[in-house]
């Protein structure tokens, strides 16, 4: 066992876990994190496309622009600011890019586990 | 304007399709690349932990290709998105009667996604599926004019029972155009324009005027290529459908 990763020594503070679970509490925020785990950074516009399409991938519906645009607004006004406040993502308002660069490792690990549990086979 | 003029003037908007799925890049991305007129087909991975059934595709329009980044992911306006399982169904579509109750077939929705895209290599089954979609719309509206062209009299004869029922159980006006002579019995309720000339023989055309409802119009035009596949295009746009009807009538000798 790696002595630095010993289970006896917690790797995440309670505050960090509060933030992580707040971030993961909503499905749209989870899908943002799953996609960013894979690509590290993406435009807010693409994240809106991905979150909308992914959440409907198995119901064979065609997603229309109106549905996607509502999701876009909700991401921009609610979900991304929450993730920014928790220091999980950064959002460059000028370029529209959202990045996972600042995300602490324990939150990445939780998000990866949630992805396997929620979206896995 | 003849059908050839109409077809040559078609301008498909610059579209990109991005396929999102866990690695490896799914085969459907290659099929969309070779069979449709979509300008760019990109692939963006989803996390490996995601199931392959979670894959989807996003259609965007007006993206400017930049050399350093995938165009679709960065630019362009969202047009539509659909799960990959449903998109696959369109490539092998089921053919159902216009009056069939199974109206939530996934392929119908995929037809909407790729509406107004010029396809490079449609096969007869796909064209039949699109035709059935337009005929189903006509059946539901129950009035208006449906125009259908046939390259050969035998092809119209084979479809006669469908059109007899469409015309007989609605107030639809059904016009069939045949490149050949028509020396067979009349089809009740169907006006046959026989010996309609070479333009009719070159194209597969269907046009429904919506019966006064602009939201129910539908048109399909496809040209057979040397290898037996078709270049084709379909649209719900009322103006484009009206122009297609005019072109069809103008093309009759």
Three-state SS sequence of chain B? CCHHHHHHHCCCCCEEEEEEEECCCCHHHHHHHHHECCCEEEEEEECCCCCHHHCEEEEEECCCCECCECHHHHCCEEEEEEEHHHHHHHHCCCCCCCCCCCCCCHHHHHHHHCCCCCEEEECHHHHHHHHHHHHHHHHHHCCCEEEEEECCHHHHHHHHHHHHHHHHCCCCEEEEEECCCCCCCCCCCEEEECCCCHHHHHEEEEEECHHHCHHHCEEEEEEECCCCCEEEEEECCHHHHHHHHHHHHHCCC
Domain boundaries, position B222: 3-250
Most confident range (mean pLDDT) of A40-49, A62-71, B106-115, B127-136 is A40-49
- Does the structure show a pLDDT above 50 at B66? no
Could you tell me the two tokens for B214?
């602009």
Please judge whether A54 and B56 are an interchain contact, meaning their C-beta atoms are less than 8 angstroms apart: yes
Number of structural domains chain B divides into: 1
**Residues B212, B165: Cα–Cα separation, whole Å:** 21
Is B86's Cβ below 8 Å from some Cβ in A?
yes
- Model confidence pLDDT, tens digit, residues B116-159: 677 777 888 888 888 988 999 999 999 999 999 998 889 899 88
CATH among 2.60.40, 1.10.3470, 1.10.10, 3.30.590 for A14-119? 1.10.10
Q: Give the residue from B21, B45, B47, B70 with the most A CB atoms within 10 Å of its CB, the best one to mutate.
A: B47
Average pLDDT of span A78-96? 93
| B84 touching chain A per CB within 8 A | yes
Give strand pairing partners of B192. Answer: B176
A66 close contact with B: CB closer than 8 A: no
Chain A CB contacts of B60 under 8 Å are 49
Give mean pLDDT, residues B54-77: 67
| Ranges A32-36, B57-61, B108-112, B207-211: which has the least confidence | B108-112
pLDDT at residue number B109: 58
B21 close to A (CB below 8 A): no
Q: pLDDT confidence of B114, banded at 50, 70, 90?
A: confident
Interchain contact A25–B (C-beta under 8 A): no
pLDDT tens digits, one per residue of B217-248: 999 999 988 888 888 888 888 999 999 999 99
- B47: nearest CB among A56, A115, A121: A115
Give the pLDDT of residue A5.
Answer: 52
Q: Which of B49, B60, B83 sits opposite A58 (nearest CB)?
A: B83
Q: What's residue B94's pLDDT?
A: 66
- The whole-number average pLDDT for the span B66-75 is 48
Q: Do B82 and A60 touch (CB under 8 A)?
A: yes
Check the CA dihedral A91-A94-A97-A101 and report its sign: negative
A7-21, B22-36, B180-194: the lowest-pLDDT one: A7-21
Instruction: Judge whether A35 is closer than 8 Å to chain B, CB to CB.
Output: yes
CA distance B88 to chain A (A): 11
CB within 8 Å: B83 and A60 = yes
Mean pLDDT of A101-110: 89
ipTM of the predicted structure? Answer: 0.88
pLDDT the model gives residue A33:
95
**How much is the pLDDT for B70?**
46
- Residue A53 pLDDT > 60, yes or no? yes
Q: What is the structure's pLDDT at B126?
A: 83
Alpha-carbon distance A62 to nearest alpha carbon in chain B (angstroms): 5
């Amino acid at each position: 066992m790696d002595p630095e990763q010993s289970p006896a020594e917690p790797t995440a503070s309670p505050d960090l876990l509060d933030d992580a679970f707040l971030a993961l509490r909503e499905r749209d925020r989870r899908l943002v994190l799953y996609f960013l785990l894979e690509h590290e950074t993406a435009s807010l516009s693409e994240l809106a496309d991905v979150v909308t399409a992914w959440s409907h991938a198995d119901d064979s519906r065609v997603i229309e622009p109106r549905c996607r645009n509502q999701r876009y607004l909700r991401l921009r006004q609610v979900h991304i600011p929450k993730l920014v406040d928790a220091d999980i993502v950064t959002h460059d308002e000028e370029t529209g890019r959202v990045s996972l660069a600042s995300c602490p490792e324990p939150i990445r690990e939780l998000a990866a586990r949630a992805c396997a549990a929620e979206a896995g086979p | 304007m003849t059908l050839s003029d109409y077809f040559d003037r078609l301008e498909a908007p610059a579209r990109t399709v991005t396929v999102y799925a866990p690695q490896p890049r799914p085969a459907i991305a290659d099929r969309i690349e070779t069979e449709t007129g979509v300008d760019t087909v990109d692939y963006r991975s989803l996390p490996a932990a995601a199931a392959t059934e979670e894959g989807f595709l996003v259609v965007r329009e007006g993206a400017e290709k930049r050399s350093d980044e995938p165009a679709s992911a960065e630019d362009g306006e969202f047009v539509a998105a659909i799960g990959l399982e449903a998109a696959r169904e369109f490539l092998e579509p089921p053919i159902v009667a216009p009056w069939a109750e199974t109206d939530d077939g996934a392929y119908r929705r995929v037809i909407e996604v790729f509406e107004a895209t010029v396809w490079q290599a449609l096969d007869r089954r796909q064209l039949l599926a699109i035709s059935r979609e337009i005929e189903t719309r006509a059946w539901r509206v129950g009035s208006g004019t449906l125009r259908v062209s046939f390259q050969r009299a035998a092809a119209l004869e084979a479809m006669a029972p469908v059109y007899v029922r469409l015309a007989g159980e609605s107030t639809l006006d059904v016009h069939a155009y045949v490149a050949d002579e028509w020396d067979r019995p009349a089809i009740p309720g169907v006006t046959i324009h026989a010996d309609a000339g070479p333009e009719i023989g070159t194209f597969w055309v269907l046009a429904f005027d919506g019966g006064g409802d602009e939201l129910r119009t539908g048109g399909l035009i496809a040209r057979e290529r040397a290898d037996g596949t078709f270049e084709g295009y379909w649209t719900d746009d009322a103006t484009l459908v009206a122009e297609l009807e005019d072109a069809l009538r103008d093309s009759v000798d």
